[in-house]
């Protein structure tokens, strides 16, 4: 077996089992532990795993946490959520993105008429457990734990079969020229896909997200129907968005 082949297998094993034990790997390949240790050292140098006494563990321990962000759920977001929920009409189908802003919408959803909510976030779905009139469609797929949304081909496929009237999009940044963006490539792709399937897209923005940009672009700001921003933002920061044809609502 080629050395590089063996290294691939080691990484494979690490992905499968979440750990490498040098001794066991040596047995498995019928090689000395020395060789395995050398492999592990090389792979660790490339940043592909983390070396620990006795073997190795996956490189990226965890992305910074979602719960931490969730607890920051503020008064501002609640107000934005109420405003957003007000856009929904009886009988419509709305798609809720994952994230704290859209969770605020879920909590504010109208309880006096029926409509359908689709979401790829189990967290959002859970919020709706006790909602009396909302029909909930859960989109499945490989769960991306960082932001707790279903992703991948399966999710894309299920979304493609829908035509939501409204999509409430969560973003980490919005910029008149650089568009809407988020921190993760895969997330950006799925958000773009949902927006493409939806009749209208609406996003909620706190002041810190306005006129900022994150690594992965979702789409142009002009593709939005409406953005709901927090109250008290100077008018001149909003006009560029209005110029793009976006309805800006202050809450």
The residues that touch a second copy, with contacts defined as CB under 8 A, are 2-5, 8, 15-19, 21, 52-55, 57, 61-63, 65-67, 71, 90-91, 112-114, 120, 122-123, 125-126, 128-133, 135-143, 145, 148, 150, 154-155, 158
Residue closer to DNA (CB basis): 39 or 187 = 39
33 binds DNA (CB under 7 A): yes
170: nearest Cα among 231, 223, 99: 99
Q: How many CB atoms lie within 10 A of CB 236?
A: 7
Question: Among a second copy, DNA, none, what does residue 33 contact (CB within 5–8 Å per kind)?
Answer: DNA
Dihedral of the CA atoms 7, 10, 16, 21 (nearest 10)? -160
- The nearest distance, CB 27 to DNA, in angstroms, is 11
Distant-in-sequence, close-in-space partners of 185: CB < 8 Å, separation ≥ 6: 215, 216
* 65 part of the interface to DNA, by CB under 7 A: no
Which of DNA, a second copy, none does residue 226 bind (CB under 5 to 8 Å by kind)? Answer: none
- b/e string for 96-111 if b means 16 or more Cβ within 10 A? bbbbbbbbbbbbbbee
Which partner in DNA, a second copy, none is near 66 (CB below 5 to 8 A by kind)? a second copy
Rounded Cα–Cα distance for residues 205 and 211 (Å): 10
Residues contacting DNA: total by CB under 7 A: 21
Tokens 């504010």 -> residue: 108
Question: Which residues contact DNA by CB under 7 A?
Answer: 1, 3-4, 6, 22-23, 30-35, 37-39, 41, 51-55
């Amino acid at each position: 077996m080629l050395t590089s082949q063996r290294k691939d297998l080691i990484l494979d094993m690490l992905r499968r089992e979440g750990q490498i034990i040098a001794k066991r790997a040596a047995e498995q390949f019928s090689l000395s532990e020395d060789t395995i240790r050398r492999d592990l050292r090389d792979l660790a140098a490339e940043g592909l795993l983390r070396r620990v006494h006795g073997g190795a563990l996956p490189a990226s321990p965890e992305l910074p946490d979602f719960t931490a962000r969730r607890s920051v759920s503020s008064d501002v977001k609640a107000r934005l959520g109420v405003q957003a929920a007000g856009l929904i009409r009886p009988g419509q189908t709305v798609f809720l993105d994952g994230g704290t802003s859209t969770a605020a919408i879920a909590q504010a959803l109208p309880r006096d008429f029926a409509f359908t909510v689709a979401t790829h976030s189990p967290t959002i779905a859970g919020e709706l457990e006790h909602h009396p009139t909302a029909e909930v469609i859960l989109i499945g797929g490989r769960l991306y734990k960082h932001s707790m949304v279903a992703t991948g081909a399966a999710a894309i496929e299920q979304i493609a079969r829908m035509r939501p009237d409204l999509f409430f999009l969560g973003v980490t940044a919005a910029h008149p020229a650089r568009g809407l963006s988020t921190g993760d490539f895969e997330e950006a792709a799925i958000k773009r896909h949902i927006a493409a399937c939806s009749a209208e897209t609406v996003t909620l923005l706190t002041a810190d997200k306005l006129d900022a940009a994150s690594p992965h672009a979702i789409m142009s700001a002009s593709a939005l129907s409406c953005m709901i921003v927090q109250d008290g933002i100077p008018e001149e920061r909003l006009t560029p968005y209005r110029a793009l044809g976006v309805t800006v609502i202050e809450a």
